[in-house]
Amino acid sequence: MHASTYSSYEDFQRNASGAVVWYQGQIVSSASSFLSWKNQLELDIVTAKEHRRKGVGIACASAMLLDCKARGFDVHWDAQNPASRSLAEKMGYRLDCTYRAYSFMTPEEP
């Protein structure tokens, strides 16, 4: 859960979605709403390196997308790397546009 985005578990449960894949007692893939607004969600997915290219990410994203469809959410996928874009395209997403992003980093506190 993205603790900085949602105020509580209940807030996430009401306004977001997510799924995980467990393997041998560990989460090896997770998909969740990074941002949400009204019925719009942005999907964020991560899969452990040693479990990539095995269908784990597709299974995880599929579970989340099915939940979103059942609940009436429109899901956007901001693919930030080629692997994410490839997975999104396998799931039926198509590139809409590209853009440049800037990040302002603050120094770490001692």
Domains and CATH numbers, the chain: 9-90 (3.40.630.30)
Tell me the pairing of strands 26-37 and 40-47.
antiparallel
Q: Write the pLDDT tens digit of every residue in 19-46.
A: 999 999 999 999 999 888 889 999 999 9
Quote the tokens at residue 26.
Answer: 């560990």
pLDDT confidence of residue 1: 46
SS3 82: helix
Q: Please say if the pLDDT value at position 105 is more than 90.
A: no
Q: pTM here?
A: 0.81
Q: Please say if the pLDDT value at position 3 is more than 60.
A: no
